Structure 1
Amino acid sequence: MVKLTARHVENVAPERKERILWDDDLSGFGLRSYPSGRKVYIVQYKLHGRTRRKTLGKHGVVTADEARRGAKLVQADVARGADPSAERKARLRSPTIKALGERFLKEHVALHCKPTTLYDYRNLLRGVVNPVLGGIKVSEITFADIQTFHLKRRDTPYQANRGVMVLSKMLNLAEDWGLRAMNTNPTRRLKRYPEVEKKRYLDDSEQERLGSVLANMLASGEITRYVFAAFYLLLLTGCRLGEIQKLKWDYVTRTHLELPDSKTGRRRIPLPREGRALIDTLERREGNPYVILGGHGTGHYNDLQKPWRKIRARAGLEDVRLHDLRHTYASVAVMNGIDPFTLKEILGHKNLSTTLRYVHLSDDAVQKAAGQIANRLAATLGSVA
């Protein structure tokens, strides 16, 4: 054993076998010498009864004095309970955000979420998250990385917020899976962008225009009877798009749509007489279980968004999304005296707060209600003139 100085290390000659020279001044500090002539500084320490070694750097890149200082720092970390060697190996084995996303989809989302959620998350990761963060190691991603990603997507706040939401779920699971230290999720303190809630429903005149356009396009052959029925059923039942698009004959009774599975689980949806009469006009296709049929095959009509874009343009409703038909159903229900608790059951919401977000009363209805309140108070207070 000798003191590993720069001069001594320079004079160490390679031998036929790899060997370690230990420093006689700093216990655990050593030089590994290879037959090739390569020399590497190391530090050896013991933790929990196990001996470990950590590489400090190659001689020539790191000086003997720098390596000695590095060895002391490692020993100080070990004295505080850290394991520098294991931490380095963990960083090297750490998957990237892209790899974590694939595992997240396969081992969590596919098992615990709806297929539509899996589809949405996969697209969000591939198109939004991975191009910015996909190559970063899970163990090394920081708040600054998340903040940079969020800022780059500021022009699309909804996507930016959803990207952070999915990252938060992924990194929580990374902690559970031992890929990050517990309680280190860097998304927690990020402030999300405000999102302007889209409040859109069809008033009476717009409903009339839509009905007229649907009838004219059906008569001219621009849309099929199945497409016509799909949009009418969305309005008459308040269903989600997928619930009508993928509706099967086995789910249809005289008075209800009995869905074995939906976004919120099993649903029993009231089917009004008008809806049942409309369904009765649709022809079945042998071997095809679906109500809303496409041009051929055994599946359902695949893309109702395409005819909807043409229909809404013809009706002068370019800003109306298909989901706004569900909003319209909820608004009409409330304006006709249906209480939110009953509406919650009809729409299949888990929480009343979700139902209340769907309820958009018209200006006339609000004005009328405000007038009734003011009249009652004025009658009690007396004349103000």
Structure 2
Amino acid sequence: MAKVKFTAPRVEGFKCAPGKAQAFLWDSVAQGLGVRVTPAGKPAFVFQGLYQGRTLRVTIGGTDAWSIPQAQEKARELQRQIDEGRDPREVKAATIAADVATREASKGEGLTVAEVWPRYMAEGKPKRRTAWKPRYVLDLNRAASMGGEPKKRGQGTTKPGALAALMPMALASIDQDVIRDWYAREAKTAPIQGARAVAMFSGFLGWCATKKDLRTLVNKTAARASELGDVLPGVNKRRDALEIDQLPAWFAGTDKLRSRTAAAYLQALVLTGARREELAGLTWANLDFQWSKLTIADKVDATRTIPLTPYMAWLLAGLPRAKLPDGTPNPYVFSSPVGSKSGRTLSKSGRIAEPRAPHTDVLADAGIPHVSIHGLRRTFSLLGEAAGAPAGAIA
């Protein structure tokens, strides 16, 4: 293998002979350094050496990008790698892989919760089940909502969900301290909802930890309840409800209320099992006295239809058809005078807004210990179970 001292004119003037696929010119200064040319390709500096008894060749780079001194120094570096027992090809591949990993990690460090959340909603699911329940999907969407959207029912815009503050944050930046500070702010106004949001976010982090491209970015225990027991409220599921023996006194108490609307509303909660806001939003347009049914908005599905029993029909038919301040008919069955603020008799929307005060009066009159408004919904479920109705039919 003849060698010459590389000079710019020699390197630039070296050409591939006709009929040859490639040709090499070797340097006499740096061991293993050569120039490779082909009939059509650009000339390039190469290194050729003997590694573990076999010849290897590595491309250094184009002669237009590397000077002769730079190429000579690179050839010496590659020969040193061989002398150290390393394969220059593997060293180069490892360098490229590390560079790619660094770039990917850099991109991942800026990945926000909001960017990953839609993927979680599409791919996530509970353990040992094929999909989340519709109710839980709705709760996840609400918790992650940034708010500001027009309300589907009523006036105004929606409020940010409990997880809204975490959405713009980088996934890699969320640790236990971040969760603690965030929950402390949420707990000032809604500690129970905040605690449930912590559980939701813990599920999200756990899911991220199962994904190859995300697991290095997350601290999957950051929102784990066992790690936050000192700040999260204790689990105390409310099970208050009216007992069967208390019902006669309770119904008698509602009959003593001055507001027939409030009395009918409280009774309807027990008789239908509807949620507080679902029933408050009942309109005359959704009451069908002819076919004995009523339709209300539902938290899970868009609406649901409930049979209208003869007693319920009589109860609701006797309610006053109120008017709004502008003289137009009030659309709500359980109407309330419109005022600037909610209270015992005023509401912003024109429908019953705060039934707790009359309910407290009923309990006091009947001598019944405290039962929440939601406890009236549980009362319906308990009565259904006592009557032998299937659990799924009264949920």
Residue aligning to 2:335: 293
Which of 312, 315, 328 pairs up with 1:275?
312
Q: 1:190 to 1:120 in 2, by over 3 A?
A: farther
Q: 1:203 aligns with which of 243, 251, 254?
A: 243
Q: Give CA deviations for 1:266-298 in whole Å, capped at 9, x if unaligned.
A: 312122111110001012134221101011387
> Matches of 2:263 and 2:377 in 1, distance apart?
16
CA contact (8 A) 1:248 1:290 kept: yes
Q: Which residue of 2 aligns with 1:8?
A: none
Q: How does 1:60-75 map to 2 (within 5 A)?
A: none
Distance in 2 (alpha carbons) for counterparts of 1:292 and 1:92: 51
Residue identity in the other structure for 1:249: W
TM-score, with structure 2 as normaliser: 0.49
Equivalent positions of 1:49-68 (< 5 A) are: none
Q: How far apart, CA to CA, are the structure 2 residues paired with 1:233 and 1:322?
A: 12
Q: How many residues align?
A: 252
Could you say which residue in structure 1 is the equivalent of 2:172?
Answer: 139
Where does residue 162 of structure 2 map in the other structure?
124
TM-score, structure 1 normalization: 0.50
| 1:365-380 equivalent positions in 2, closer than 5 A | none
Residues 146 and 159, structure 2, Cα contact 8 Å, conserved in 1: no
Provide closer, same or farther for how the CA distance between residues 82 and 115 of structure 1 changes in structure 2, counting only shifts above 3 A.
farther
Q: Is 1:182–2:219 an aligned residue pair?
A: no
Q: Which runs of 5+ in 2 are unaligned?
A: 1-92, 119-140, 323-327, 340-348
CA distance in 1 between partners of 2:112 and 2:385 (Å): 53
Q: Is the 8 A contact 1:158 1:195 kept in 2?
A: no
Q: Distance in 2 between matches of 1:96 and 1:282?
A: 47
1:236 aligns with 2:271: yes
**Kept after mapping to 2: 8 A contact 1:78/1:84:** no
Aligned to 2:7: none
Matches within 5 A, 1:299-318: 299-318=350-369
- Whether the aligned pair in 1 keeps the contact of 2:286 and 2:295 (CA below 8 Å) is yes
Choose from 297, 303, 312 the match for 1:266. Answer: 303
- 2:203 pairs with 1:165: no
Q: Counterparts of 2:376 and 2:112 in 1: how far apart (Å)?
A: 47
Is the deviation greater in 260-269 or in 320-329? 260-269
**Alignment partner of 2:294: what SS?**
strand
Equivalent position SS for 1:258: strand
Measured in 2, the distance between the counterparts of 1:154 and 1:259 equals 31
SS across alignment from 1:196: coil
Indicate the RMSD between aligned Cα atoms, in angstroms. Answer: 4.9
Q: Which position in structure 2 is the counterpart of 1:17?
A: none
Q: Deviations over 1:35-74 (max 9, x none)?
A: xxxxxxxxxxxxxxxxxxxxxxxxxxxxxxxxxxxxxxxx
Deviation at 1:187, TM superposition (A): 4.6
Distance 1:244-1:135 versus aligned 2 partners, 3 A rule: closer
CA distance in 2 between counterparts of 1:115 and 1:250 reads 15
* Contact 2:296–2:304 under 8 Å retained in 1: yes
Larger Rg: 2
User: CA contact under 8 A between 1:237 and 1:272: conserved in structure 2?
Assistant: no
Identify unmatched segments of 5+ residues in structure 1: 1-74, 219-223, 348-354, 356-385
Sort the Cα spacing of 1:165 and 1:103 in 2 relative to 1 into closer, same or farther, 3 A. Answer: closer
User: Which stretch has the larger CA shift, 274-283 or 83-92?
Assistant: 83-92
Letter of the 1:213 counterpart: G
Shift of 1:316: 4.2
CA distance change for structure 1 residues 123 and 314 in 2, over 3 Å: closer, same or farther?
farther
In structure 2, how many angstroms separate the alpha carbons of the residues matched to 1:106 and 1:293?
31
Distance across 2 between alignment mates of 1:152 and 1:76: 47
Percent of counterpart pairs with the same letter? 20
Distance 1:257 1:230 in 2: 14
